[in-house]
Every structure is written in C-alpha cells, then in structure tokens.
Amino acid sequence: MSNEYRIRECRREDIREVIAINRRCLPENYAPIFFEEIREKYPDLFYVAEVDGKIVGYIMCREETAGFDLPRLKAKRRGHIISIAVLPEYRNRGIGKSLLAKALDSMRERRLEECILEVRVSNSIAINLYRKFGFEIVSQIPFYYLDGEDAYLMKAKLAS
Ligand SMILES: CC(C)(COP(=O)(O)OP(=O)(O)OC[C@H]1O[C@@H](n2cnc3c(N)ncnc32)[C@H](O)[C@@H]1OP(=O)(O)O)[C@@H](O)C(=O)NCCC(=O)NCCS
C-alpha cells in the first residue's frame, strides 16, 4: 500500500466514494443530494484524499452567515466543518490533518473570520485533532445526536 496521498477538490464523480466513506466511518449520514449541493456551492471547501487513485478520506464544509456583529454592523462570516472522515486502514498518517489544513486555508482565502464544528463529546481522537488547529470548546449541546449523545461546539479564529 502506497504511503503517498494527494489532497484535491472533490469532483462530481467522487461523491459516490465519499458517501461510502461517510457511511463506513460515521453514524451521521446525509442524502446524496446534500453532498452534491455542498460540492456545487462550495467547491473550495470540499476536499478528498486520494491514494493510488482511490478516495480514502474527505472533508466537507460550508460558509455560514452568523448574524450581525453589532459594533461593526456587519454580518459575521464563518466556516462550518460538516463532516470529515478517513478510512480506518488509512488513519494515523496525517491525512486528517492535511484535509483540515486545506479546508481552513480555503476559509482564510474566503476571508472568513472563524470556523465552527460539532463533535461527539466521546470522540477524543477528533477533539485532539481539532485542538491542534486552535479549536476550543465553546459549549456543550445536549442530545445533539440521534442516539442522544451530546456534542461539543468547537470554534477556531481564522483571521490571519
Ligand atoms: C478524526 C479522523 C478524521 C482523523 O484522521 P487521521 O487521518 O487518522 O488523522 P491524522 O493521522 O492526521 O491524525 C491527526 C491527529 O488526530 C489525533 N489522533 C489520531 N489518532 C489518535 C488516537 N488513537 N488517539 C488520540 N488522538 C489521535 C492526534 O491528535 C493526531 O495528531 P498527531 O499525529 O500529531 O498526534 C479519523 O480518525 C476518522 O475518520 N474518524 C472517524 C470519523 C470521525 O470521527 N470524524 C470526526 C467527526 S466530528
């Protein structure tokens, strides 16, 4: 198995593999049209990791407007990480970090001010990963997931 991986924007024809990874790695699944709409609207915020022509991971994000920042009378723009996953047999070789770094760079290019995400309170691997990129827990959302588990809302400042 090659150790080389490549991070690139997700293409329409990758969506089937992305959905398969999502179903294998996470209980939070979405309708195929949702993946496709996010890709069409935010192509620079949806990346895949490829090894020998096979998609082994993805990160899917969108941009959100977060209400008004009153002193400046300006809507605050922020990124939202909707989903990230790497196939189990390709983990622990930096792919998750590379996907996240790429998505955060694109958010900075869009001049977004911050990035948010939700993560299961039990998912210490993902929480560790996010902390490495400056994410901090801002609140706990009770019963966020369908099985009743709470989520942490995490946030990172993006301004460079
Ligand atoms: C979270 C996930 C995407 C990380 O992917 P990955 O390619 O293995 O990540 P990396 O190899 O880049 O590792 C990134 C960091 O994760 C953390 N990490 C990885 N494995 C870990 C473990 N067994 N225990 C604790 N932390 C761990 C470390 O902080 C690591 O950084 P380090 O290598 O500098 O120590 C992957 O574990 C995954 O797909 N999990 C299932 C889906 C999921 O939980 N997604 C997040 C939903 S919010």
Ligand 1 pocket test: pick from 92, 100, 152 the residue with the most ligand atoms within 8 Å of its Cβ: 92
Which domain, by its residues, includes 81? 6-157
26: in domain: yes
| Six token digits for residue 7 | 């991070």
Q: How many domains is the chain built from? A: 1
**Which residues of the chain register pLDDT less than 50?**
none
**138 CB within 6 A, ligand 1:** no
pLDDT in the model for residue 63? 97
pLDDT in the model for residue 74? 67
Ligand 1 atom, smallest distance to 95 CA: 7
pLDDT in the model for residue 65? 76
Residue 149: give its domain's CATH number: 3.40.630.30
Rounded alpha-carbon distances, angstroms, from residue 107 to 25, 45, 79, 103, 129: 25, 7, 6, 6, 18
72: in domain: yes
1: in domain: no
